[in-house]
Structure 1
Amino acid sequence: MRAPGGPIVVVRDNLNTHLAAGLKRYEADHDWLTAVRLPPYAPDLNPVEAFWSLVHRAMASTAFGTPDHLDRVLRRELRRIQLLPRLIDGCLTVTVLAVLAMNPPTPS
């Protein structure tokens, strides 16, 4: 694999595959890659939590009759968020990632 033109910072959660020894070795062997691990529950760092909160709120009072019904409503809500940039901006604003984007960590 060819190294990219600059450093890459990966922010990851604590999914068991993200903690695998092989992944840790890969990260250690590539100085252009910096991995930052989120705490076990960090909604203030993870904008996905805000997105799922919006979806959950929109779907909370729906009784799904079939898996297909659930799929249709979920896709509709995700599409609604996608088409409203102010919602996406809001999800990012509630995190501290805006600060990290302006001051990215330097690889050690």
Structure 2
Amino acid sequence: MGEGDLATGGTTRREQDAWLVFEDEAGQSLRPPKARTWSRRGHTPIVTVSGTGSGRVSIAGLICIKPGQRTRLIYRTITHHGRKGEKKGFRETDYAALLDAAHQQLGGPVVLVWDNLTAHHDAVMQKLITARSWLTVYRFPTYAPELNPVEGVWSNLKRGLGNLAARSIDQLTILVKTRLKKMQYRPGLIDAFIAETGLILTTNPP
């Protein structure tokens, strides 16, 4: 178990047998993303936003890769309604719970690659990582989102939500989960997100 830079990963036998897992987070408010659509010439389509209500849907996603296995997308959401004292996003224990669920679902050790967000490498997270013998962690180079295939998930999700005006944050949460679930059943699409990064998965000799 350990933590280091992305370039140093994948050298032990345990790591070679593991799932390579990329992680990232995103969020969406009630204001829908801009998107293109069709309309009659000279008639600009208008999406009406109620302007009432507040809140945000926070999303943490994992793309999981292993040679000979179907590529997986695993995610969790947290809905913030704007209430006082309500958790606004993912904390260290939430990341640990997501990784525990992924470990159980994947059925093997995990090599995790994520960015340099403070909550990813502070003392609390380091303790949680150390307690999981099946987990090895590496970090992306600073300011390199183009290397993370989960960015493709967020881009696809934003396009899917474009021009949709949810009436409440709970309805938005349902829309987000529905679109992510559809992606889970399209491993070819997830593989395309990986291909867009230019990363190549190789196996070192034992």
Normalising by structure 2, we get a TM-score of: 0.39
Secondary structure, counterpart of 2:183 in structure 1: helix
1:86 equivalent to 2:94? Answer no
Match of 2:141 among 22, 39, 49: 39
Unaligned runs of 5+ in 1: none
Judging changes above 3 Å, is the alpha-carbon distance between structure 1 residues 86 and 34 closer, same or farther for their aligned structure 2 residues? closer
Query: Alpha-carbon deviation of 1:46?
Result: 0.5
Give SS of 1:11's match: strand
Structure with larger Rg: 2
Query: Match for residue 102 of structure 1?
Result: 202
More helix by percentage: 1
Shift of the 40–65 alpha-carbon distance from structure 1 to 2, 3 Å rule, reads farther
Query: Is 1:19 aligned with 2:121?
Result: yes
Aligned residues: 95
Structure 2 residue 162 is the aligned partner of structure 1 residue 60: yes
The offset of 1:103, in angstroms, is: 4.8
- Please identify which structure carries the higher strand content: 2
Output the TM-score relative to the length of structure 1: 0.68
Cα RMSD, aligned residues only: 3.1
Quote how far apart the aligned CAs of 1:78 are.
Answer: 0.4
- Deviation >4 Å, runs of 4+: none
